[in-house]
Amino acid sequence: MNLKGKTVIVTGSSRGIGFAIAKAFAAKGANIVINDIKIPDETIEEIKSFGVDCIGIVADISDFEQAENLVKGAKEKFGTVDVLVNNAGITRDGLLLRMKEKDFDDVIRINLKGTFNMTKHASKIMLKQRRGAIINLSSVVGLMGNVGQLNYSASKAGVLGITKSAARELGQRGITCNAIAPGFIKTPMTDVLNEDVKNAMLAQIPLGRQGLPEDVAKVAVFFAENDYITGQVVNCDGGMVMQ
């Protein structure tokens, strides 16, 4: 897909990986829909500095109707929805025996149900257009599990199931669906970890460094530009998980 002039929705994109993905698509000439529960004005202006159009739509994508309105808003503004990046997600870490039911439910609701909501609504438009790319953010812990992240691991493993099933269902209409499984990426979510935890994680990475949001963004653009790749998972993790 030639991204110039196309419409890209990136959920959870006011900062971190989502914002890096939005900028990477803007650099390719795509118009961007920023989504989050709060969107600073400077976020929109930075995207527009690439010479593209950009709007921000505040919505909780775990709510079915809000997700639908987000997609409708993008379609009304730009006329199409060509790429959807399901990036929005949260963590509520804790050991299994101490994990609260609400912490489990919240992570599943936002990370997994939010991906379902957005994929369902965006795919309706893409099916009529007979083209589109859906890119889901999973995680290496969705592949291998992790102590203290049972809820997050479950949600990200579920995202992989959505990805592969959607790829099979939508492929005949020219819609691709792929997933990225980031590893230890430098974001506000990982910045709060103590140095011992960070060093332990770095010791598992053959490339010996923490990933950057821009590393993940490059993979997202790659998936959108390649029309003959679908149902795939790329680990963007410096070699932390090898299959």
Q: Is 228 a catalytic residue?
A: no
- For the chain, how big is the Rg over CA atoms in Å? 17
Please tell me which residue in 152, 179, 183, 215 is annotated as part of the active site. 152
β-strands 83-86, 31-36 pairing: unpaired
134 contacts 86 by C-beta, under 8 angstroms: yes
- As given in the structure block, the two tokens for residue 182 are 């980031």
Cα-Cα-Cα-Cα dihedral sign, residues 125, 221, 219, 194: negative
215 contacts 157 by C-beta, under 8 angstroms: no
What is the C-alpha separation between 148 and 205, in angstroms, rounded? 20
What is the C-alpha separation between 243 and 232, in angstroms, rounded? 13
What is the C-alpha separation between 102 and 134, in angstroms, rounded? 29
Calculate helix-pair angle for 16-27, 41-48, nearest 10 degrees.
Answer: 30
227 contacts 1 by C-beta, under 8 angstroms: yes
- Catalogue the active-site residues: 152
